[in-house]
């Protein structure tokens, strides 16, 4: 995994994550009943390229698009297309950007119009779980302190964390060591050091944590068909407070 040493590296990785944040913010505003995921994908790609970045997912292991757009029971890796989002849906948008050799990665789940109160709680708890994990991003803590904090918050609220997909180191590649599961005992794994860059990304299901992958070989869905939410940030470990660079 990369350790950020210089001001120049810091500048570049912040810049790549800033692009991710700007695009996600824009897409969030555009998500309304009637929009298609292909339209969102096109806007995201244009915005990234205009800023000198490259969509990091496009072509990654053959993924065909700039964003992952995962609706309702879709957990992650949904392929944008002509599906129209409708009132009451939730849509998870995940974006990765490469800028001058550095990567940023972030995801958000957005409500389309009015959603039910139980789905609203799912979104709230998933986002809170991400921030419970981020609170543990402190030099000297162990990696699984993050995992444990995420899992505890989710399960306390009656939901489940996905096991099959995990967070990851990031920096000069989209996915680097170490893997960051959203579950596990505390005080395990490597110690966090200043300069490490982590992508923490709880995927939280309303029902069972079991997943299935659809025939497109990408879209992961909940086995029981209940909804799932996903929030992710890219974070730098520092001597003090963690720096969230995709915000
Ligand atoms: Mg992501
Ligand atoms: Mg990621």
**pLDDT tens digits, residue range 51-107?**
999 999 999 999 999 999 999 999 999 999 999 999 999 999 999 999 999 999 999
Residues 6+ apart with CB under 8 A from 28: 93, 108, 110
Residue with tokens 């350790």: 3
- Which pLDDT belongs to residue 111? 98
Reduce the DSSP state of residue 236 to 3 states and report it. Answer: strand
Give the N- to C-terminal CA distance of the chain in Å, as an integer.
Answer: 22
Give the Å distances, CA to CA, from 227 to 49, 148, 205, 246: 32, 22, 6, 25
CA dist 141 and 147 (Å) reads: 12
Å from CA of 4 to ligand 2 middle: 18
Å from CA of 140 to ligand 1 middle: 25
Question: How is 86-130 classified by DSSP, letter by letter?
Answer: -TT-EEEEEEEEEETTEEEEEEEEEE-SS--HHHHHHHHHHHHHH
Å from CA of 113 to ligand 2 middle: 26
Mean pLDDT of 36-49: 98
Mean pLDDT of 196-221: 98
Reduce the DSSP state of residue 146 to 3 states and report it. Answer: helix
Any idea which ligand is nearest the CA of 69?
1
Q: Is it the case that residue 1 has pLDDT exceeding 90?
A: no
Q: Which CATH number is 157's domain given?
A: 3.90.230.10
pLDDT mean across residues, the chain: 98
Domain that holds residue 148: 7-244
Residue 153 lies in a domain: yes
Å from CA of 232 to ligand 2 middle: 7
Are residues 208 and 160 in contact, defined by beta-carbon separation less than 8 angstroms? yes
Residue with tokens 């407070």: 241
User: pLDDT over 90 for what percent of the chain?
Assistant: 99
- Which pLDDT belongs to residue 109? 98
Surrounding ion ligand 2 within 5 Å at CB are 105, 199
Give the Å distances, CA to CA, from 175 to 52, 198, 231: 21, 10, 17
Any idea which ligand is nearest the CA of 175?
2
Mean pLDDT of 195-201: 98
Residue 82 lies in a domain: yes
Task: Name the domain count of the chain.
Answer: 1
Residues 6+ apart with CB under 8 A from 81: 36, 37, 38
CA dist 27 and 58 (Å) reads: 18
Residue 1 lies in a domain: no
Are residues 147 and 183 in contact, defined by beta-carbon separation less than 8 angstroms? yes
Å from CA of 117 to ligand 1 middle: 26
Mean pLDDT of 105-132: 98
- Which pLDDT belongs to residue 105? 98
Would you place residue 24 in the very low, low, confident or very high pLDDT band (cuts 50, 70, 90)?
A: very high
Å from CA of 94 to ligand 1 middle: 5
pTM over 0.85: yes
CA dist 135 and 54 (Å) reads: 30
Residue 2 lies in a domain: no
Å from CA of 174 to ligand 1 middle: 9
Are residues 150 and 183 in contact, defined by beta-carbon separation less than 8 angstroms? yes
Please state whether 150 falls in left (phi above 0), alpha (psi between -120 and 50) or beta.
alpha
Q: Is it the case that residue 238 has pLDDT exceeding 90?
A: yes
Residue 87 lies in a domain: yes
Any idea which ligand is nearest the CA of 199?
2
Give the Å distances, CA to CA, from 30 to 36, 43, 106, 129: 10, 10, 17, 25
Any idea which ligand is nearest the CA of 24?
1
Mean pLDDT of 132-151: 98
Å from CA of 201 to ligand 2 middle: 6
Å from CA of 106 to ligand 2 middle: 7
Are residues 57 and 198 in contact, defined by beta-carbon separation less than 8 angstroms? no
Å from CA of 169 to ligand 2 middle: 9
Å from CA of 67 to ligand 1 middle: 9
């Amino acid at each position: 995994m990369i350790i950020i040493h210089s001001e120049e590296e810091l500048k570049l990785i912040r810049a790549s994550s800033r692009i991710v944040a700007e695009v996600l913010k824009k897409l969030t505003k555009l998500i309304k009943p009637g929009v298609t995921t292909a339209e969102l994908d096109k806007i995201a790609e244009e915005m990234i390229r205009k800023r000198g970045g490259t969509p990091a997912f496009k072509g990654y292991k053959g993924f065909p698009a700039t964003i992952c757009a995962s609706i309702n029971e879709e957990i992650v890796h949904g392929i944008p297309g002509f599906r129209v989002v409708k009132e009451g849906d939730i849509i998870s948008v995940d974006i990765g950007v490469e800028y001058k050799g550095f990567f940023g990665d972030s995801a958000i789940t957005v409500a389309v119009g009015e959603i039910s109160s139980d789905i609203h709680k799912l979104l709230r708890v998933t986002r809170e779980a991400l921030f419970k994990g981020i609170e543990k991003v402190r030099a000297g803590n162990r990696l699984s302190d993050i995992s444990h904090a995420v899992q505890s918050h989710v399960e306390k609220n009656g939901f489940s964390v996905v096991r099959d997909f995990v967070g990851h180191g990031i920096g000069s590649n989209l996915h680097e060591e170490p893997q960051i599961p959203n579950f596990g005992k505390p005080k395990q794994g490597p110690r966090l050091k200043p300069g490490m860059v982590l992508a923490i990304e709880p995927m939280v299901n309303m029902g069972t944590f079991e997943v299935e992958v659809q025939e497109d070989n990408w879209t992961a869905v909940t086995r029981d068909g209940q909804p799932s939410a996903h929030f992710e940030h890219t974070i730098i470990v520092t001597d003090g407070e963690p720096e969230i660079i995709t915000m």
